[in-house]
Chains A and B, each alone.
Chain A
Amino acid sequence: MTFRQARWDEPSVWDLAPSGPGEVPNVPGLPERFRRKEGVRWPELSELEVVRHYTRLSQMNFGIDTSPYALGSCTMKYNPKVSELLARRPGAADLHPSQPESTVQGALEILWRLERILTKVTGLSEVSLQPAAGAHGEYAALLMVRAYLRDRGELGSRTEVLLPDTAHGTNPASAAMAGFTTREIASKDGCVDLAALRAAVSEKTACFMLTNPNTAGLFESEILDIAQTVHGAGGLLYYDGANLNAILGVTHPGRMGFDVAHLNLHKTFATPHGGGGPGAGVLAAGETLAPYLPVPRIVKRGRKFSLDYDRPKSIGKIRAGYGSFGLDLRAYAFALAHGEEGLKHVARRAVLNSNYLGARMGQYLPRPFRPLVKHEFLLSGAPLKEKGVRTLDLAKRLLDEGVHAPTIYFPSLVEESLMVELPETESKRELDGYFDAFVRAVTDTPENLHAAPRNLAVSRIDEVRAAREPLLSWKDLRAAPAKVEAP
Chain B
Amino acid sequence: MLAALGIGSVDELFSDVPKRARIGRLGIGPSREEPEVVREVDKILARNRPLSGFANFVGGRLPIRYVPAAVDAMLSRSEFFTAYTPYQPEASQGMLRVLFEFQSLWVELTGLDVANASLYDGATAAGEALLFARRLHDGHRFLVPASLPWEERSVLQNYASGPGLIVEEIPYDPGSGGLDLAWVRTKVGQGDVFGVLADVPNGFGHVDPAVLDLKSTIGAVPLVVAADPLSLTVLEAPGRYGADVVVGEGLGFGIAPSFGGPALGLFACRKEHVRMAPGRIAGATLDADGRRAYALTLQTREQHIRRSRATSNICTNESLMALAFVVYATLVGPRALAQLQASLAERAKTLASALGGVPGLLAPRFDAPYLGDFAIELVSGTAPAFLERLRRRKVLGGQAIVDPRPGAPKTPERILVSVGASAGEKEIQRYVTAARAAVGGGGP
Contacts and interface: CB of A to CB of B under 8 A. Distances in A.
B102 to A, nearest CB: 10
B86 interface: yes
Interface residues of B, number: 195
A135 interface: yes
Interface in B256-275: 256-263, 271, 274
B163 A336 contact: no
A323 interface: yes
Contacts of A274: 80-81, 83, 318-321, 323
Interface string B1-37: 1101100001001111110111101111111111001
Contact of A31 (B209, B290, B405): B209
Interface string B147-175: 00101101101110111100000000000
A238 interface: no
Contacts of A64: 78, 82-83
Nearest to A457: B93
Interface in B99-127: 99-101, 103-105, 107-109, 113-115, 117-118, 120-124
Contacts of A356: 1, 4-5
Nearest to B73: A51
B291 A486 contact: yes
Interface string B221-238: 000000000001111110
B2 to A, nearest CB: 8
Contacts of B391: 100, 102-103
B61 interface: yes
A388 interface: no
A2 interface: no
Nearest to A403: B91
Given A320-B121, A463-B285, A333 B154 contact: no
B88 interface: yes
A85 interface: yes
Contact of A320 (B31, B260, B293): B260
A474 B259 contact: no
Interface stretch (A86-94, A192-200, A379-387): A86-94
Contacts of B91: 5, 61-62, 399, 404-405, 453, 456
Contacts of A486: 291-292
B66 to A, nearest CB: 11
Contacts of B56: 96
A320 B149 CA distance: 10
Interface in B33-65: 33-34, 37-38, 40-42, 44-52, 54, 56, 58-62, 64
A266 interface: yes
A22 B78 contact: no
Contacts of A66: 78-79
A1 interface: no
Interface stretch (B179-187, B191-199, B333-341, B434-442): B333-341
B309 interface: yes
Contact of A472 (B52, B81, B281, B288): B281
B245 to A, nearest CB: 15
B234 A276 contact: no
B274 A321 contact: no
Contacts of B31: 337-342
B235 A36 contact: yes
A474 B114 CA distance: 10
Interface string A77-114: 00100101111111111111111101111110110010
Contacts of A276: 83-86, 95, 99, 117-118, 280, 316-320
Interface in B262-319: 262-263, 271, 274, 280-295, 297-300, 302-310, 312-319
Contact of A456 (B26, B74, B90, B271): B90
Given A177-B162, A340-B25, A133 B120 contact: yes
A202 interface: no
B89 interface: yes
B235 A321 contact: no
B10 A43 contact: no
B116 to A, nearest CB: 9
A487 B23 contact: no
A413 interface: no
Contact of B41 (A94, A173, A250, A329): A329
B32 A372 contact: no
Contacts of A181: 308
Contacts of A327: 261-262
Contacts of A279: 316
A273 B256 contact: no
Nearest to B268: A473
Interface in B227-253: 232-237, 240, 249
Contacts of A69: 84
A446 B159 CA distance: 49
A336 to B, nearest CB: 5
B51 A99 contact: yes
A69 B84 CA distance: 8
B162 A96 contact: no
A460 interface: yes
B396 A99 contact: yes
Interface in A306-331: 307, 309-310, 312, 315-327, 329
A299 interface: no
Contacts of B216: none
B51 A277 contact: no
Contacts of B136: none
A410 B90 contact: no
B414 interface: no
Interface stretch (A229-237, A251-259, A283-291, A436-444): A251-259
Nearest to B200: A34
A175 interface: yes
A233 to B, nearest CB: 21
Contacts of B48: 91-92, 95, 103-107
Given A36-B234, A462-B288, A173 B120 contact: no
Contacts of B17: 219, 221, 247, 250-251
B81 A28 contact: no
Nearest to B56: A96
Interface stretch (B138-146, B324-332, B354-362, B425-433): B324-332
A317 B151 contact: yes
Contacts of A423: none
B363 interface: no
Nearest to A392: B88
B79 A71 contact: no
Nearest to A32: B236
A123 interface: yes
A58 B287 contact: no
Given A352-B1, A352-B13, A320 B304 contact: no
B21 to A, nearest CB: 5
A456 B18 CA distance: 46
B328 to A, nearest CB: 10
Interface string A214-246: 000011010110000000000000000000000
30 contacts: A23-B338, A24-B234, A29-B369, A34-B369, A61-B94, A66-B78, A87-B258, A88-B72, A89-B42, A94-B50, A94-B257, A95-B257, A96-B59, A98-B58, A133-B315, A133-B316, A168-B315, A173-B310, A182-B307, A250-B14, A251-B21, A256-B21, A275-B319, A326-B261, A336-B40, A339-B28, A351-B10, A461-B294, A461-B295, A484-B292
- Closest 10 CB pairs between A and B? A274-B320, A321-B260, A61-B94, A276-B319, A91-B45, A97-B260, A278-B262, A132-B120, A339-B31, A106-B47
Given A23-B335, A336-B41, 18 more contacts: A31-B209, A34-B236, A86-B38, A88-B72, A107-B48, A132-B318, A133-B317, A135-B314, A170-B304, A174-B313, A273-B85, A276-B118, A278-B318, A318-B155, A336-B37, A337-B34, A459-B291, A467-B297
